[in-house]
Amino acid sequence: MRTWRVGSFSMGAALVFLGIFLLLSQVFDWDPAIAMVSWWPILFIILGVEILVFLAIGKNDKQYVKYDFISIIFISVIGTFGLGMAMLNTVGLLDVAHDVVSAEELTENLPKYEETLSDDIKRVVVETGPYELNIEATPANKAVLFGIYTANGLKQSSVKEISDYALIEKQADTLYIKIKRLPTSKIFSNHGWMEATLLIPDTKQVEVKARGNDLQVETRKLQADWSISKAGTITFNVKEDANISIQATDIQYLDEDSWNIKKNDDEYADYVSGSYKIGNGEQIIQVHDSYKVQIEK
């Protein structure tokens, strides 16, 4: 009497099927979720086909059927694991695990932006994004943006072009510069840090929107009016031969020994306003709705 071990053939057939499917899922980018759900029915189909083939071949002989439960369990474990890994790869969790293993703190130079501004450009509008920014007036007729950045969870630089960290656009007589949030690994909450310096021709009008971040401003010999709003702490580095007047309104803190202070009596009663004059004060810098303004000489 012959003994037929049901499950041995099924294990081989299931492994062949699983290998072919996993290979095709990589080549054609299939979603393994459907196969994951249907894996157990397919296992029973393979076992049923094996039994039917056995009965058809050995119907004239005395046969004894014995189920190979070890093979069946092995098929189930291997199949479920393989399809599970394929699903993790599809949803990107394997990439996340790779990021965890290879995570490091990366410090790189920002791609440099440099452009000569024609006389048609009268105004520069700057949005600082989520980072501190150093802004400096320069006698050269060029707008220049450069610096360094540090990001966690990256193994190689993800800031390769200017467009990766800044949007720069010219419309009519205005140059717009908007700093973006730095790219970083999906699994790290720290989105990196940037130390950037922006040089702007001292003959151009400048409007800065700081979004609560600190600013370092180097005025040099400014020849045009500037305005700054919604900053954290603004530090002006001024020269003794400067010729500017800083007009601050709705500020939480001003150094009373250096400023001509005026208390507010409206809805901004907790804020103060003031002015600070150097030289003849021909060029005006308007500062509005910020936390603190300080002067360094």
Tens digits of per-residue pLDDT, 200-225? 999 999 999 998 899 999 988 899 99
> What's CA 155's distance to the chain center, in Å?
14
Please tell me whether residue 252 adopts helix, strand or coil conformation: strand
Quick check: 154 pLDDT over 70?
no
Quick check: 156 pLDDT over 70?
no
Quick check: 72 pLDDT over 90?
no
Q: What value does the mean pLDDT take over residues 272-277? A: 88
pTM of the model: 0.65
- Distance (Å, rounded) from C-alpha 238 to C-alpha 243? 9
Contacts of 47 by beta carbon, 8 Å cutoff, 6+ apart:
6, 7, 10, 72
Element at 55 (helix H, strand E): helix 33-57
Determine the residue type at 270: D
**pLDDT recorded at residue 145:** 97
Q: What is the pLDDT of residues 163-199, one digit of tens each?
A: 989 999 999 999 999 999 887 655 555 567 889 999 9
**pLDDT recorded at residue 142:** 94
* Of 41-45, 192-196, 223-227, 276-280, highest mean pLDDT: 223-227
**pLDDT recorded at residue 182:** 80
**pLDDT recorded at residue 32:** 60
Measured at the CA of 251, the angle between CA 246 and CA 256, to 5 degrees, comes to: 70
Quick check: 65 pLDDT over 60?
no
Q: Comparing 16 with 142, which gets the higher pLDDT?
A: 142
- Distance (Å, rounded) from C-alpha 55 to C-alpha 47? 13
Q: Comparing 68 with 19, which gets the higher pLDDT?
A: 19
> What's CA 39's distance to the chain center, in Å?
38
- Distance (Å, rounded) from C-alpha 105 to C-alpha 108? 10
Q: What value does the mean pLDDT take over residues 113-138? A: 93
| CA nearest neighbour of 187 among 148, 151, 150 | 151
